[in-house]
Amino acid sequence: MTPKKKTAYISLQHVTKNFLLTSGIFTALDDINIDFRSSEFTCVVGRSGSGKSTLMNMITGIDKPTDGKIVVAGKPIQDFTENERARWRGENLGIVFQFYQLIPVLSLLENVMLPMQLLGKTDLSKIEKKALRLLAAVNLEDQAHQRPEKASGGQQQCAAIARALANDPPILIADEPTGNLGSEDATMVLGIFIDLVKKGKTVIMVTHDDDLAKQADRTLRLSDGRVVGDSNHAHRKTIARSRKSSHAE
Sign of the dihedral defined by the CA atoms of residues 129, 131, 132, 137, in that order: positive
Task: Pick out residues in 7-66 that bind ligand ADP (CB under 6 A).
Answer: 19, 21, 26, 28, 46, 48-54
Cβ-in-10-Å burial (0-12, 13-18, 19+) of 102 comes to buried
Q: How far is the CB of 21 from ligand ADP (least distance, A)?
A: 6
Backbone angles phi, psi at 147, to 5 degrees: -80, 155
| Residue 65 interacts with, from Mg ion, ligand ADP, none (CB under 5-8 Å by kind) | none
| Residue 51 interacts with, from Mg ion, ligand ADP, none (CB under 5-8 Å by kind) | ligand ADP
Q: How many residues does the chain have?
A: 249
Task: Pick out residues in 49-108 that bind Mg ion (CB under 5 A).
Answer: 52-53
Size of the site for ligand ADP (CB under 6 A): 12
| Residue 26 interacts with, from ligand ADP, Mg ion, none (CB under 5-8 Å by kind) | ligand ADP
Containing 32, the helix (H) or strand (E) segment is: strand 24-37
| Residue 50 interacts with, from ligand ADP, Mg ion, none (CB under 5-8 Å by kind) | ligand ADP
- Look up residue 71 and give its amino acid: V
Give the C-alpha separation, 168 to 165, whole Å: 5
Contact code string over 80-119 relative to ligand ADP, x by CB under 6 A = ----------------------------------------
Q: How far is the CB of 32 from ligand ADP (least distance, A)?
A: 12
Q: Which is nearer to ligand ADP, 115 or 225 (CB)?
A: 225
Q: How far is the CB of 118 from ligand ADP (least distance, A)?
A: 25
Give the C-alpha separation, 60 to 23, whole Å: 28
Q: Which is nearer to Mg ion, 175 or 185 (CB)?
A: 175
Q: Which is nearer to ligand ADP, 53 or 92 (CB)?
A: 53
How many DSSP H helices and E strands does the chain contain?
A: 8, 10
Give the C-alpha separation, 141 to 132, whole Å: 6
DSSP β-bridge partners for residue 130: none
Q: Which is nearer to ligand ADP, 2 or 23 (CB)?
A: 23
Distance of CA 86 to the CA centre of its chain: 17
Q: By three-state DSSP, how is residue 137 classified?
A: helix
- In 3-state terms the chain splits into helix, strand, coil percentages (rounded to 5) of 40, 25, 30
| Residue 76 interacts with, from ligand ADP, Mg ion, none (CB under 5-8 Å by kind) | none
| 157 binding Mg ion? (CB under 5 A) | no
Residues that bind ligand ADP (CB under 6 A): 19, 21, 26, 28, 46, 48-54
Residues that bind Mg ion (CB under 5 A): 52-53
